[in-house]
Amino acid sequence: MSPKRVKYVLPGLLVLPLYSWGFSYEAPSISPEVESGYEEKPGWSAESFAVAAANPLATDAGYQVLQAGGNAIDAAIAVQMVLNLVEPQSSGIGGGAFLMHYDGSEVRAYDGRETAPQGVSGELFIEDGEPLAFMDAVASGLSVGVPGTLRMLEKAHAQHGQLAWADLFTPAITLAEEGFAVSNRLHTSLASEELLRQDPLASQYYYDADGEPIAVGETLKNPALAEVFRRVAAHGSEAFYQGAVAEDLVQRVQTHSVRPGSLTLDDMSGYEALDREPICTPWQQWEVCGFPPPSSGHLTVMQILGMLDKQPLLEAPLDNGASSSGWLHQFLEASRLAFADRGRYIADPDFVDAPGGDWELMLAPQYLQQRSALIDEMSMGDTAEPGNPGELEVSWASQPEQPEYGTSHISIIDEDGNAVAMTTTIEQAFGSRILSDGGTGLAGGFLLNNELTDFSFEPEIEGEPVANRVEPGKRPRSSMSPTLVFDQESGELVASLGSPGGAAIIHYTARTLVALRDWGLNAQEALNLPHAITLGDGVFVEEGRFAEATIDSLRERGHTVSERELTSGLQAIMRLNDGTLFGGADPRREGVVMGE
């Protein structure tokens, strides 16, 4: 391991009481000295196993599980529970997740996406005939989907786990009871957050009487979450989906002071995590395996990459100079075309048919050749129309797609070569801004998702039903793109990666794959590159990271360009030719990689 690790894990481990016999956890004392904003990171090497997550305490929990002989699934569970505690704004048991798993021979896709309650209609977000303002919908009971993360992890653990389920909660329970040092990112997210202060539990827990958020480095305990974790550790996910915890969650949604939601106890107890068929797509020497619908991630990423492969080869944009705008232009135009297809076709496959009956038709080489041929010298701007990979009569709708911070990514490769790529979310930062104490009456708790705002607010456009409209029991379309990469020839695992970032997850993931395969960058260098994205209309380039000449040159090609913060939270671990691992964590967030 690189000495950089020492920066995050201070010497002198504090040994805390053990809660189980199979796995002994030592809570490290972690200094939250990582500044928010962009910080160069060195990348991390490891011989046999590695774990990457968005917070050092979470990474460390996964590391300790792997060290104790746990496998990638075990580590993912420990990491997720600690993330729920230390990065509560981004993921947790109140939200949903997609997990890609490789067990040395087979790739599986576990779907823990939230579902719409049975009581919803297609007009969920329509008020007085008009779609609600986005943030009004978010901060409400209406947006809360039935959480899926816990059931999904329980299912994956039943099939692949090695350590006892209960042991995997020990790190999070210990840290919740003993307290953890609040990170910069949590502090700054709380400071800039207005809506969360309106939730009575959250305002008491995260802010002082003057409305100041808990300071960086201050110790925060979460007794409510510790108690919920203890019950789930002892009794499994039933302790969450039924009984006191479920009752509290339902009651908070149903009695929301502004816009109550319809979530019921039956919705909770009826939640099922699903096995999906992963989509594995050849991409020159690699095979890229990703999540199928209800995620639009893999299909859209691979459409972009497939179209790019059909474009004339240009100099890679590594120098941030004017010469790079040619590649950026191709990338942005391919993104526009791919997003047009995404908007039109992709939704929950249990409710909507794939065009032509097969999602992979969207990735057919002839189709992508046709689409790629639409890319011209000048930008098509917002005129990109969906293509017709099959036959389907549904409208497409573009939605407000905002930068989002309510998501986190975990990548793990264990010493037996099993791998996890898991992207986990409560949607917006702090989700629906509803904190549940699980009915414990103790301080703290966990946040409920606002995942239902990932549905189209409008059920129909010009009289045609929208594929991603709200329907009871349906899962909203996602952009999450947890990805496992294999070498086509040897079949060996090459990488595990993914990112948060709302719809821009797709650009972050696609560009990282290009940087790893075509530009020969390592897993850290690839994540350091500046971002450029478009969802169809304007182009956003990462603030302060592109040369003026590049931006001017994009403008000359007809792109409307503005600069803004693009806070990806990429995590990637690659297996190198000599069999060792090299991991990277996004310089824009607090993540680190640990391994041995």
User: Contact positions toward ligand GLU, by CB under 6 A?
Assistant: 404-407, 425, 427, 451, 454, 478-480, 500-502, 505
Question: For residues 346 and 380, what is the distance between their CA atoms, to the nearest angstrom?
Answer: 22
Which residue, 359 or 405, is less far from ligand GLU as judged by CB? 405
* CB of 102 or CB of 291, closer to ligand GLU: 291
| C-alpha of 68 from chain center | 27
Distance CA 342, CA 537 (A): 15
Q: State the nearest-atom distance from the C-beta of 333 to ligand GLU, in Å.
A: 22
Q: How many of the other CB atoms lie within 10 Å of CB of 404?
A: 21
The phi and psi torsions of 294 (rounded to 5 degrees) equal: -75, 0
Pairing of strands 532-534, 539-542: antiparallel
Single out the catalytic residue among 115, 281, 407, 424. 407
Provide the minimum distance between the beta carbon of 567 and ligand GLU in the complex, in angstroms, as a whole number. Answer: 9
**Minimum separation from the CB atom of position 498 to ligand GLU (A):** 10
Nearer to ligand GLU, 113 or 160 (CB): 113
Are 573 and 497 within 8 A, CB to CB? yes
Residue 527 or 554 with smaller CB distance to ligand GLU: 527
> Which is nearer to ligand GLU, 425 or 550 (by Cβ)?
425
Alpha-carbon distances, residue 177 vs 22, 222, 442 (angstroms): 20, 6, 12
The nearer residue to ligand GLU, 427 or 458, going by C-beta atoms, is 427
Least distance (Å) between residue 149 CB and ligand GLU: 12
Judge whether 413 and 575 are in contact, CB under 8 Å: yes
Smallest distance from ligand GLU to CB 52, Å = 17
453 is catalytic: no
Judge if the upstream peptide bond of residue 294 is cis by omega within 30 degrees of 0.
yes
- Asked whether 515 and 526 are in contact (CB, 8 A), the reply is yes
- Least CB distance to ligand GLU at residue 417 (A): 28
Structure tokens at 166: 């209960």
- If we measure between CA atoms, which residue out of 52, 46, 40, 106 comes closest to residue 76? 52
Q: Residues near 142 by Cβ (< 8 Å), separated by ≥ 6?
A: 124, 125, 256, 259, 260, 261, 452
CA distance readout (Å), 210 to 174, 205, 213, 221, 499: 30, 13, 9, 20, 35
Residue nearest ligand GLU, Cβ-based:
404
Of the candidates 406, 347, 344, 457, the one whose C-alpha atom is nearest the C-alpha of residue 88 is 406
Q: Min. distance of Cβ 502 from ligand GLU in angstroms?
A: 4
Choose between 141 and 145: whose C-beta lies nearer to ligand GLU: 145
Write a three-state SS string for 301-324: HHHHHHHHHCCCCCCCCCCCCHHH
* Catalytic machinery residues: 407
